Structure 1
Amino acid sequence: MKLPGVSLPSTPVSFTRATPIQRHRYLVTPLALPVICPATVPLSINQWGPRLDPLHPPHLRRRTVSMETPAVHHLNHQRTLVMQQKEYCRFHQAWQRPFYGSRAEKEEYRKEVREALKRQMREKWEARKQRLANKAKELEYLQETDRQALSREREQISSRAKEMREYRDENKRLMEQCWRDRAVSRSLEMLRDRALLQYNPLNWSCTLK
């Protein structure tokens, strides 16, 4: 049995020419930075100066949106490489002489080690002496402070005792004066009563003693 053929409807395809995209060109201000080759990186960092700021590069008064910073980043990267090489050389030159140097260099290295050990021992003894001297000064200061505190305390006790003695003497003087005044007033009153009894011996009002 033969099946009839089925034809699918096809969608017509139309080819249209794409409109060209207009590309805008922006003006980029070139930076006047030195051209550095990685193969000729010197081992001195003094001529490079400080690190540059990519957002505020030199020789530009005003920052624009279209400003590119690959040159500044490249300069900072080269500066980092120089510093790493310098540190690497310094680290390896420190132990290169005692193992791979000549006999004179090895002897000089041993001499430097001995001098360093002597200097460390001398600094240690000086630091110990300084600590002992500081402790002695601190002890003297504490003793002087204690002596001054005891002296002030004795002076305060002495002044307090003097004030109390003056207070006691003043109270005694006032009490004695009061007693004398009372005795004088009593004697005067008795004399007056005796004089009145001479004129009126009966004392009917009982006011005379």
Structure 2
Amino acid sequence: MRLPAISIASTPVCIPHDTLPVRQSRSLVVTPMMFPSISDSARLWTSSQSIPRLNPLHPPLVYKRTVSLETPAVHHHNHQRTLIMQRREHHRYHQVWRKPFYGTSSEREEYRKELREQLKKQMEEKCAALKLQLASKVKEAEYLREVDRLALSSERDLRIQHSKAMTAYRDENKRLMEQSWRDRALTRSQETLKERKLLCLNPINWSGTLK
């Protein structure tokens, strides 16, 4: 069952301004003809034009603000403006869900096409976000791999330098030990030769058995 479409003509709210009372001031008589026609604005309520809101204490074409200029016509204008804006919002809200249920076949197809396009757009956005996430993960993995490679290379260089330093320490220690051994052997041989010479010259050893 199709519900009747909501239109502005179904709920008329425009009241002729001629029936509204007018308050008279000392220097100026404010009439409803001085205000913009609310019926003309009501016929354009679906357009993008906006109805201006009037100030009850400062009506149009009046340059001096005074309380005596407050008239019911301005309040009527603002009330009609509120009703038109509420009707416009009601129409806009109900036009959204009216098409897929009570619209024509072309409107329903257009609605389904719009849904499909929205779903495709959401899928594309999700796919793009997933690709960006994977790309960021790949970059992070490459960065971590490079950091690990640099850390291993630095550790290897440190091990090589330590090995070279320990090898040089070992070689220098070996050289010092061999030099010490040669010095002690030379000293001992010199002392032996000296003792032999002394024994040869010593008259106590006449037989020469002590060598």
TM-score, normalising length: structure 1: 0.48
Higher helix fraction (1 or 2)? 2
TM-score, normalising length: structure 2: 0.48
